[in-house]
Amino acid sequence: MSNPDSPDDLIRHGTPAFKRTNLALFAAGLATFGLLYCVQPLMPQFSRHYGISAATSALSLSLTTGVLAFAMLFAGGLSDALGRKTVMVASLLSSAVLVLLTAAMPNWYALLTLRTLLGIALSGLPAVAMTYLTEEMHADSIGLGMGLYISGSAVGGMSGRLIAGVVADFAGWRAGVGVVGVIGLVSGLVFWKALPSSRHFHPQALQWRALLGRFAGMFRDPGLPWLFTEGFLLLGAFVTVYNYLGYRLMAAPYNLSQSVVGLIFGIYLVGTFSSAWMGHLAGKLGRRKVLWTAFVLMLVGVACTAMSSLWLIILGITAITFGFFGGHSIVSSWVGRRGGVAKAQASSMYLFSYYMGSSIAGWSGGLFYAADGWYGVALFVGVLVLMGLLIALRLYRLPPLPLLVTPPTPMSKGAMP
């Protein structure tokens, strides 16, 4: 029998276990991000139906991501005690049920209440999925595995937005949300059946003092705090663009329908390519040598969205999406490598920063939209992306090995932590 603690027993690409793992995590990404972001194309409808501003409508997403950010700080510790798969399965299935209930809520405040609870329920998946991959997958496969998981997230984010938007145009927003909830429930069941059980997980009792010590230790690492900041800036910029894109394109001079705007969210498909491709490229050339290019691409995209041509706007959204998913793939796998023995907490802290970017910047963008329309949004997002580029250039000089944690398992030739 193989030793479950042996590196030879880790999941590697080309094996049946790798295929099962990626099917499961693709389904998890599909469910999680479809359930989370299905309200984004519906924000203009919320504004009309409830008579609320763009910034208030954005609370349907910002409240969820804000609560999600805090809850994920504890999800990693909970999975240390209960097991990775157990926490992730419970998270997905309960989240799907909450979204189904959201479709039947009678008023705006009831809807916001369930969207807030959704943030708690969803917290058990993203941070724990990253930890599961770093524990169970071989170092030469983790970049591809993380990229494929994020590809599922891209498809989920795209399909949740697209399906909700198109269905809402014909049957109302409640039907759109309900269909996404059903898809999330089916995806959660696929995840439950397909994901291999943990072989390198060892249960640990919840020890709050030790947990807090690990969180504090991460901020003495020369790279992790900057990587956490990159997560905040990446998702903050990306979500802000997509939050207010519908308001711009459904107004004059474009006057696009809800269905057409929903179809534009199909641009998300480029994320399924860019996350895997840039993650693999970073594994070969080094993350420090590739990360800055993602921010440059996003910056060019923001400039394109400020133009009046619809085709240039679509090109800009494509560039922003490509750069975002590529950057997130690189940064998230980098955090897992530098986290070492505190990888669960490092993943939780990264995702805390990541989703706080969505919550804070996504809501704040509404204030810029109210003040100066899309040009205000473009200026705000441009500043966020420029800050991310400057940090990426600083990370270029980051020491290659973590200073406060045990050395990671060997990586493939040419890869850099």
Contact 333, 143 (CB under 8 A): yes
Per-residue model confidence (pLDDT) at position 65: 95
Q: Output the six-digit token pair for 158.
A: 């795209």
State which residues of the chain have pLDDT below 50: 1-6, 401-417
Question: Beta-carbon neighbour count of residue 219 at 10 Å?
Answer: 11
Check residue 188 and give its pLDDT: 94
Least Cα distance to 29 among 132, 169, 140, 138 occurs for 132
Q: What pLDDT score does 189 carry?
A: 96
- In the chain, domain spans: 15-195+218-395
pLDDT at 276: 76
User: Is the separation of the CB atoms in 329 and 275 below 8 Å?
Assistant: yes
CA 177, 183, 188, 191 torsion-angle sign: negative
pLDDT score recorded for residue 399: 66
Tokens of 168: 């809402």
Lookup: tokens for 353: 């920063």
Say if residue 280 is exposed, middle or buried (CB neighbours under 10 Å; 0-12, 13-18, 19+). middle
Rounded Cα distance between 357 and 126, Å, is 15
C-alpha distances in angstroms, 42 versus 61, 121, 155, 181, 322?
A: 11, 22, 18, 15, 23
* Residue 140 Ramachandran class (φ > 0 left, ψ -120 to 50 alpha, else beta): alpha
- The length of the chain is 417
The answer to whether 114 and 130 have CB atoms below 8 angstroms apart is no
Query: What pLDDT, on a 0 to 100 scale, did the predictor assign at position 414?
Result: 29
Rounded Cα distance between 203 and 221, Å, is 26
- Tell me: domain 15-195+218-395, CATH 3.60.10.10, correct? no
The pLDDT of residue 265: 78
The reported pLDDT for the residue numbered 215 is: 67
For 406, counting Cβ atoms within 10 Å of its Cβ (0-12 exposed, 13-18 middle, 19+ buried), the class is exposed
Rounded Cα–Cα distance for residues 169 and 147 (Å): 33
For residue 182, the cross-strand partners are: none
User: Rounded CA gap, 20 and 14, in Å?
Assistant: 11
